[in-house]
Structures are given as structure tokens and as C-alpha cells.
Amino acid sequence: MELGFRVGFLFLVLVFPLCINRSDAHQDYSQFLLANGVARTPPMGWNSWNHFQCHIDEGIVKGSADALVSTGLAALGYNYVNIDDCWAEDQRDWEGNLRANSTSFPSGIKALADYVHARGLKLGIYSDAGYRTCSKRMPGSLGHEDQDARTFAEWGVDYLKYDNCYHDGSKPQNRYANMSKALLNVNRPILYSICEWGEENPAEWAGLYGNAWRTTGDINGTWASLISIADANDIWGRYAGPGRWNDPDMLEVGNGGMNLEENQSHFSIWALMKAPLLIGCDIRSASGETLNILGNKEVIDVNQDSLGVQGRKIRSKADLEVWAGPLSGGRVVVVLWNRSQSNAPISVGWREIGLSPSNPVIVRDLWMHSTVSQNKRYQLTANVAPHACKMYVLTPIRG
């Protein structure tokens, strides 16, 4: 597959504002969040689900918050500590309020939020645009949007992941809009992550209501899942930008299902696609290899680049791929990705990625942390191992 990179990028910048016709209320909420620094770049942090699923308690959450700080990951931008499903009691209280599970979260969510905030981090929580959450272990928020939004704000919640199970069959556009309106009314900057699984092309409408939206089903820690989800997310790239991000699901780095090269490819492509970088492993016991991947500041800087343009796949042939995207300052990020079973050379020409062929560039290798060339022209070629990638930032030399 080949895309006109330069033309596509210009279309994205010039035409994107026409793709979504926001209502005034939701435009106000978007501007409110951006003014408070929420979702200007893709959110980063940790989420409990991939590793712990329903086996979660306040000790794990506190320990994970502490680990983000002690490992230095918080200083790199991983500042959301997100509790996924199974945190609440099976039923609401007599006033209809959600309440924390008294066994696994005996101190309550407000106390947990205070603990997380005291470490300079933010707390995320989970609910569902249905009558029950996906685990069936706790109530959803359908019909209780205003009440639950007030509860989350009173507890000091900073992030809401909102799932799509056990609903009434109504359109997700309506159910997700109701929670968006409720969050606006509480006047607290809560990042709103829509988890609709990509069933009704949320990239086309979820920017009206939220800051991020799942474009795919759930990821798992396998190579097959990684490449399938990367491709599914890629097609929606033109809809992403500051305050609105495509979400191909959480990171599987550190969960043991993939090798070093595959995990580096996973992290590289998620960063290039401007995906939320939400760690999905047990960060308290993460290996040095895992921390080196998650803590690669040069790759993180691509993800958090202020231009906020999602990188895309621009060429694929025989499982040898080129992904690229524009960065601030006229720079370009390039990933040469070998999805085959054999070592292979992969090349990219300057013209493919919107650069003048004769224009010299500085080539920086983000995994080797080294400058490959100070004056490279025309094209770049690298030998890439199976399931591995090479990731570069190209900086044009101005005459």
C-alpha cells in the first residue's frame, strides 16, 4: 500500500476541521480540557486491566503509582494511574451512588485519588455506557451519567475509560454523548476515553464527545494481535490531533508474550501513531529490558510531539513496511518495520516522506541513541531483523 504522504499531510492539516462538525457544548468541553492541559498530547500512564484484569486492589494501585515514580517513568510523562473494571461493589448504595468494593478498596476511591495526587500523578477510573460493566461485577453508568460524573469529580478522578457492554441497544453516539455532557457539567478536567471497540467507526464521530476512542477490539500479548491492531488503527489517522486521539488499546510490553524485537516494534508503532501510551504490565516488578523500552525518551518524544499528527503506513511489500509522519520543526519520523521471518534491507526515499531528494538531513536512530548521519541525501537503507524495526527522526538541514 502506498499513500501520497505530502498530499495526505496537507489534506489532514487543511481539511480536518471540516470533518467533524462539533456542537457548541462539546466544543466548549474540548476547549475547556485543552485550556487545562488535558490531552494536548496522547495520554500516558498505566492501566490495570491487561495484567491484573479483575484481580485488582488498592495495594496494587498504590504500588503501581509508587513504581511509576521510583522507576523514573512518571518524570517521562507516565502520569495517569488508571483502575479498570471490577473496582466497585456489585450494587449501588441506597441513594443510587457507585461505591468502591469494601474488600479490595477499603479506603475508598477518594483516599486513593489523594494518595496518587500526592505523588504528582493522576487517577483514572472505569465505567460503562451500559447497565453493567464488561465483567458483570459492577453497575454501569447508563441512566446514571450525571450522578456518576458528579461522584467521579467529588472523588478527584482525572480520567474516565467508558466501555460499551450490556447496554440497551441504543446508538453509541447517544450513550457516549450523555456522559460527555455530564462531564462538562461537573466543571472538572476529566479526560474522557471512549471504549466502543471501533464497531461503528468512532473516529468519525467520537471527537465530538471525547479525547480518545478505541478503534479496535482488545489487544493481547501476541505478534498476530499487534500487527492486526496496528493496521486497523492506521486507517483512521486523519482524524487524530491535539485533544482527540485514536486508541489501539493498551501496551503489552512487559507481559511476556513477545520478544525484545517485537516489543520494541510495538512501542515504536504506538508512539508513531500518536496512540495513548498506557502501560499494561505489572510495573512494580518490570524487568530492566521492559523499563528500557517504556523509558526510551526519544521514542516518547515522538509520541508527545506538539504537532500532534498521527504517523501512517506509507508502503508495504512482502511484509517489509515503511511508516512515517511529520513532526514539529519540519522533522519527519520514520519506522522501517520488518514483519517477515527473515533479515531484510528496507529503504525509504526522501520523496516518499515529503522531503526534497537533494535536501541533506540529520538522521537520528532512536533505539541506538546515535546519529547515523549529519548529511544524508536521497534515501535511507537499513538491514532489519525479523519482527524488528528501525526508528529514525530526520531533521532537514536548512540552507
The answer to whether 37 and 79 are in contact (CB under 8 A) is no
Q: Is 163 among the residues known to form the active site?
A: yes
**Residue with C-alpha cell 457548541?**
24
Q: Of 191, 190, 213, which is closest to residue 201 (Cα–Cα)?
A: 213
Residue with cell 496512540: 275
Three-point CA angle 84, 89, 91, nearest 5°: 120
Q: Side chain identity at 31, as an amino acid letter? A: Q
User: Could you write out the DSSP letters of every residue in 185-226?
Assistant: HHTS--EEEE--TTTT-GGGTGGGT-SEEE-SS---SSHHHH
**Cα distance between residue 134 and residue 157, in whole Å:** 21
Residue 167: exposure state from Cβ atoms within 10 A (0-12, 13-18, ≥19): middle
Burial of residue 263 (CB within 10 Å: 0-12, 13-18, 19+) is buried
Which listed residue (114, 146, 218, 365) is catalytic? 218
One of 148, 163, 247, 249 is an active-site residue; which one?
163
β-partners of residue 381 are: 347
Phi, psi (rounded to 5 degrees) for 391 = -125, 125
249 is known as an active-site residue: no
Residues annotated catalytic, as ranges: 163, 218
